[in-house]
Chain A
Amino acid sequence: MKTIFVEKESYYDSALLMLTSQEVKKTSGVHDATVAMGTAMNLDLLRSLGFDAAALAEATPNDLVIAVDCDSAESAEAARAAAKQALSRKAKAVTGEAAHVAPTSLASALRDQADANLAVISLPGAYAAREARKALESGLHVMLFSDNVSLEDEIALKALSRRKGLLLMGPDCGTAIINGVPLCFANVVKRGPVGVVGASGTGIQEVACLIDRAGSGVSQAIGAGGRDLKNERVGGATTLMGIEALAGDDETKVIVIISKPPAKAVADQAVAALERAGKPAVALFVGATPEVRRDGPVVHFASNLEETAAMAVALANGERYAPRAFTLSDAAIEAIVARETRGLVPAQRYLRGYFTGGTLADEAWIAAHRATGAVHSNNQTDPSYVLADPRRSIGHTVVDLGDDAFTVGRPHPMIDPSARVERMMAERDDGEIAVVVVDVVIGYGSHEDPAGAIAPAVEAMRAAARQRGGYLPVVASITGTAGDPQNFALQKAKLEAAGCVVMPSNYQACALATKIVERIETRGRGGAR
């Protein structure tokens, strides 16, 4: 049956009526429905569809016509009700918030934020270079966190940044502190007179934290990216720009550069740049034989991260740098070594380092290798001590769990500590382990509770050693400051509660662990005699 309802003096927009027609058609028992204003054209159409001409004649263009083809009068009434309900539905309130659309590109973000001066890019490597180029072309400084950026792209980007006078930190730059703001993986460090440029993420973090803890502060910490000083074609482009900028920066009194073993020619250029800059400077080329370089009037060479920080603070304070092995007295250290080695059994012979920070791992294997000459690591530079299988420790081993071999398809262990916990749990039954050394890196970017995450693994390893009739010393250090969100004191307390000896720096943790190994070896030789 075909029924017409005319609702007098009810004007609705035609688009709303089209939508309403669609909804009314869904009413049960309704074959077809048209909800429209009574315009001549609509009335013609409804007449041609066979609706009652007399009923339609009542409608004027100001009247609403509900035309229903349906099974029964009940269905017709239901359709009419559905139409009225659809037309009276209250609109959701329009708010400014709802109208906000997040920027989908760098360009649109810049339109909303005209004063932007830094782009932080952590996109997949294939796209990262592209966005970095755009950012530089838009006049932004760039922190390029992403790795897997090709060497060609890095060279081109650094040439562009040079032309523009803009800073390009990275690629593969995990850490920077600009104007006191920690970027990506970085700590809350007091502002102060020391400017840092480094091609090493956790190296910068450790040095910055130790500067903070020594009561001084950091003006700027500029990450250069892993290849900056290592690759001759990159040629230290970021490091050299960073040195120049820190040279011209009033706040910076002392310049520190940190790098994993650099290309010799590039290192020479960086040192020359420091000499030109003229401000007191400290250079650390991690793993370089210290005697290769001699201190000059401007540039002082440090041999480890802690020394780098200590030298820089001394220079900033106008004090003489006094080298020292440990913060604690020799007697106190001797007491710790005695205490921690007392319960060891003869089968326990080897040092094991489980690290999340790459440069911290380097510092560990280098210190232990210097003492023992036999430390395996996935970061080793001597091919005969490179771990054949980075997933399994042999003899003395220091493993960098942030290595690409471990991070394919899973987060970096500084973010997700489970890879390290799994590794420690897997090796807890190895009766040859004599001492364990670990790093705990806190600050922005890192896991919210890395000490809490590692504590059960430490306890499990120590319990397993006890069950074998031995004892397991675990030495740790925390890269962090009192200002970091994880709460430094609480992290330290958790490590100590798990049985760790917590040392004031990674260097001292490694030195203590090495001392323990040396003590065991001395005893072993003594026992054989």
Chain B
Amino acid sequence: MTEPSRVAPVMALFKSRLSVVNLGLASFADNLAALGVEVAQVDWRPPAGGDEVALAALDRIASGGTDVEAANKKAVDILLAAKPTLIDIGVAGEVIPGMTPTTILHSGPPVTWERMCGPMRGGVIGGLIYEGLAANRAEAEALAASGRITFAPCHAHSAVGPMAGIVTARMPVWIFENTAFGNRAYSTVNEGLGKVLRYGAFSDEVLARLRWIETELAPVMKKALKLHGPIDMKSVIAQALQMGDEGHNRNRAGTSLIIRELAPTLVQLGEPVEAIVRILNFLNANDHFFLNLSMPACKCALDAARGVKGSSMIVAMARNGTDFGVQIAGLGDRWFTGPASMVEGLYLPGYSAADAAPDIGDSVITETAGIGGFCMAAAPAIVKFVGGSPQDAIAYTTRMYEITLAENSAYQIPALDFRGSPTGVDVRKVVETGILPVINTGIAHKEPGVGMVGAGLVKPPRNCFRDAVLAFAEAYGAAPTSSRSDP
């Protein structure tokens, strides 16, 4: 007998209870079940929907020299270990790297003024007027088209912004630090609902609110954070998920928790009572105040995983109202884009699908980090957006485990028996399974300045994931061959 150890696993099988996974003819599984054998029937579909080019790319990745599994483990471990912490509020032009007085950051992948959608153009106009670079709409439009304004994605500057995501130099921004890895992320202060800059509104009332945020809210918040000390946002998000939020379309619990956390500090600052009342009322009136905190929390967690060589984990998904784009940990700052889709959802009183703009905003950073739509099962109050029942929400979340790399034990979902949220999207799995990330989102009016008209679910364009896989195969896969040979 020669080297029995070489077949030790086979001999071990002979001593084990058989436990079978069946792929293919269901009758084979039925027969095993009838015999009392433990068997799982896989609801199998052709991988990548039978797309041979994508499948060949996946095979090249699998047979290439890079250990993608190890790289992904490294990337997702970084994401899970992140400690997003709110440390301060500052001025964009002073704290965001690379910001200039004529820089305007926007949501999503890069987009030129010519290709910007209505709400984003409105946001740019408002931003230019707010900065004093233009006196009115006409001047602002001329300036925006002149080439003298530097447009750049928030994502390229460690920032994220909901909807149009407009950030200009004078705007106050939350400063987050991922204290486990030392990187920072930034986001503006959420302005509330209705006519707001992020939905492309730039009327006097919008600009007045922005100025109030700059001159009253931000300075007070700066003092409050200094007195209070850093806020561990991971813990706040974890609590919010237990209280019916998913951190994207429902932020009522998170907003409440922040008010509860900061109110005792705010009243100790010695600021005029009217100012504190205005600030607390502003927070209280805006269920989505927390969105601009959950987003940079997710951003700084994901940014730490950027650049992990050989990792196919998605580190950014974002939309600018024209394109939907993704970035991959192992592929640097390249964007893979497809046309922004229309959102399927429910509309606020007085609006319908005819009013809607295509999908827009960086808020899908929440899904990228494993909350938002991925935690739909945690937010039964808003299940109507996804088809009506808590089962639907559970099904959406459960499906996301199929395309993710890990479960985040810090973000637990009560309805799933406190299972950790599905975290770290593997772009290979998206292409292979054909399961797209579930993305919750608000719906902007297509005309600048009207505001939010509804909310719902959006399906990202498939091709951006496919293109990313093809590029990944180029970067890390084996050389293309007609038939795979054994390494």
Contact = CB atoms under 8 A, between A and B. Distances in A.
A182 interface: yes
B37 A181 contact: yes
Contacts of B29: 120
B395 A116 contact: no
B23 A98 contact: no
Nearest to B34: A485
A110 B44 contact: no
Interface in B327-367: 346-350
Given A41-B194, A106-B23, A118-B21, A276 B1 contact: yes
A445 B31 CA distance: 8
B22 interface: yes
Contacts of B398: 99, 101
Given A119-B20, A119-B23, A123-B24, A244 B6 contact: yes
A240 B3 CA distance: 13
A249 B429 CA distance: 39
A99 B395 contact: yes
A34 B1 contact: no
Interface stretch (B78-86, B199-207, B383-391): B383-391
Contacts of B16: 117, 179
B454 interface: yes
A355 interface: no
Nearest to B24: A122
A150 B19 contact: no
Nearest to A135: B21
Interface stretch (B164-172, B269-277, B479-487): B479-487
A88 interface: no
A487 to B, nearest CB: 15
Given A104-B42, A152-B484, A165 B9 contact: yes
Interface residues of B, number: 75
B132 interface: no
Nearest to B381: A13
Interface residues of A, number: 89
Instruction: Identify the interface centre among B55, B384, B399: most chain A CB within 10 Å of its CB.
Output: B384
A186 to B, nearest CB: 9
Given A19-B384, A120-B21, A247 B4 contact: yes
B447 interface: no
Interface stretch (A156-164, A365-373, A401-409, A461-469): A156-164
B46 interface: yes
A444 B1 CA distance: 34
Given A45-B350, A249-B11, A127 B28 contact: no
A337 to B, nearest CB: 39
Contact of A160 (B402, B429, B454, B486): B486
Given A13-B382, A113-B21, A276 B2 contact: yes
A107 B21 CA distance: 10
A80 interface: no
Contacts of B45: 104
A22 B59 CA distance: 47
B18 A165 contact: no
A67 B45 CA distance: 47
A302 interface: no
Given A92-B389, A248-B11, A49 B350 contact: yes
Contact of A121 (B23, B41, B350, B389): B23
B138 interface: no
Contact of B346 (A19, A115, A164, A276): A19
B7 to A, nearest CB: 4
A295 B38 CA distance: 42
B19 to A, nearest CB: 5
Contacts of B2: 244, 276
Interface in A169-225: 178-179, 181-184, 219-220
Contacts of A155: 486
A166 interface: yes
A141 B9 contact: yes
A260 interface: no
Given A121-B24, A155-B486, A19 B388 contact: yes
Contacts of A153: 483-484
B13 A42 contact: no
A166 B6 CA distance: 9
B62 A220 contact: no
29 contacts: A18-B348, A41-B193, A99-B394, A99-B398, A101-B398, A104-B43, A104-B44, A105-B402, A111-B401, A118-B18, A120-B24, A122-B24, A122-B25, A123-B24, A124-B46, A127-B46, A130-B55, A139-B9, A141-B9, A150-B483, A165-B9, A166-B9, A181-B37, A220-B14, A247-B1, A249-B14, A276-B1, A276-B2, A445-B27
Given A120-B21, A121-B23, 13 more contacts: A35-B349, A92-B391, A94-B391, A103-B42, A118-B21, A123-B24, A124-B46, A131-B23, A139-B9, A179-B13, A179-B14, A220-B14, A244-B3
Which 5 A/B pairs are nearest by Cβ-Cβ distance?
A122-B24, A18-B346, A34-B349, A15-B384, A245-B10
Interface of A: 13, 15-16, 18-19, 21-22, 34-36, 41-42, 45-46, 49, 67, 91-92, 94, 98-99, 101-113, 115-124, 127-128, 130-131, 133, 135, 139-141, 145-146, 150, 152-153, 155-156, 159-160, 162, 164-167, 178-179, 181-184, 219-220, 241-242, 244-245, 247-249, 251, 276-278, 444-445, 485
